[in-house]
Amino acid sequence: MTMRFDGRVAVVTGAGGGLGRQHALALAARGAKVVVNDLGGTLDGQGGTPLAAQAVVDEIRAAGGVAIANGASVTNAQAVQDMMNEAIASWGRVDILVNNAGILRDKSFSKMQLDDFRLVMEVHLMGAVNCCKAVWEAMRARNYGRIVMTTSSSGLYGNFGQANYGAAKMALVGLMQTLSIEGAKNNIRVNCLAPTAATRMTENLMPEAVLKLLQPESVTPGLLALVAEDAPTRAILCAGAGAFERAHITLTEGIFVGLPTDAAEQVAARFDALSQREGETVPQSGAAQGTVEIAKASAALTSAV
């Protein structure tokens, strides 16, 4: 059965080009009413013009879809709230939020200015926080919401020259983990998408032949699956070149050391043992770590009696 979004209202940030544009076009083509948000700034976050967002809206309308443009900066909490209010005033609801807006200010950490670190965090992390906060209560009231954070392999696994970007992108995973727990009772499903795509952010980083494989539209099917009626929740979906994988944050079974005088030496000496991945789990909440550790300590006390 074809996935449809008729009657749904979606807000896509950073949708004036690249991935966001493809997401907005695809949602609209499948029946969603779309708020196309884009500041219209440069790759490093300078300036701003509403032309990029309006161009995508024009594309959607030309194809028979419904969309409005919005030029708010996701770093401006009041402007973001106004954007959500406009969507609700126009169409009565916001069902889908795609946090896609972002900038790059890449440099090795030794050369990176703290202002560049802060701004990247502000756009990626706080931009997503602002958008989620602005729509959260409306989603709770309707007992329906689908939210996607755009994370990155640079956050999940690291990448030279992207300490700021990687930190922000991994922070979004933490935000997703908690919001998915808090939103569960109100049918708000929250996921992460880690794309590999040829966009303004990657065009100077990869050979032309590789870029041809990494078209943004090859990522969007994953996005659609994450915001569908029967979407999963708490998933980290990786996507690129038409391939899809799932990333997990896992916990090994580990070891018990206790508090002998040589505890530090034992941890160092047995690091390979505590790193063994056989039997590792994907915890369902942060409390799982403590549960595992207390169980080990209790078992050691019992055996010592």
Match 């047995």 to its residue by tokens: 270
pLDDT over 90 (residue 171): yes
Selection from 84, 90, 192 nearest residue 132 by Cα: 84
Grouping H, G, I as helix, E, B as strand and the rest as coil, residue 107 is: strand
Mean pLDDT of 234-261: 97
pLDDT digits (tens, 9 = 90+) for 258-302: 999 999 999 999 999 999 999 999 999 999 999 999 999 999 988
Pairing of strands 33-37, 9-12: parallel
pLDDT at 60: 98
Quick one: pLDDT at residue 128? 98
Helix (H), strand (E) at residue 192: strand 188-196
Q: Rounded CA gap, 54 and 35, in Å?
A: 10
Q: Which domains does the chain have, with CATH numbers?
A: 9-247 (3.40.50.720), 263-304 (no CATH)
Residues near 304 by beta carbon (within 8 Å), at least 6 away in sequence: none
Task: Quick: pLDDT tens for 40-54.
Answer: 865 655 655 679 999
CA distances from 302 to 256, 295, 299, 305 (A): 13, 10, 5, 5
pTM for the full model? 0.93
Residue among 164, 218, 158, 211 nearest 193 (CA): 218
Mean pLDDT, residues 88-106 taken together: 97
Residue 53: its H or E element: helix 51-62
- What DSSP designation does 50 have? T
Greater model confidence, 212 or 29? 29
pLDDT of residue 47: 55
Mean pLDDT within 158-182: 97
Instruction: Using DSSP, state whether 300 is helix, strand or coil.
Output: helix
Q: pLDDT category, 254, cuts 50, 70, 90?
A: very high
Q: Could you say which of 165, 197, 220, 240 is catalytic? A: 165
pLDDT category, 240, cuts 50, 70, 90?
very high
pLDDT, mean of residues 121-139 = 98
The reply to whether 165 belongs to the active site is: yes
Q: What is the mean pLDDT of residues 159-184?
A: 97
Q: Share the mean pLDDT of the chain.
A: 94
Question: Distance between CA 229 and CA 7 in Å, rounded?
Answer: 12
29 burial type by CB count under 10 A (0-12 exposed, 13-18 middle, 19+ buried): middle
In the prediction, which pLDDT does 66 show?
Answer: 98
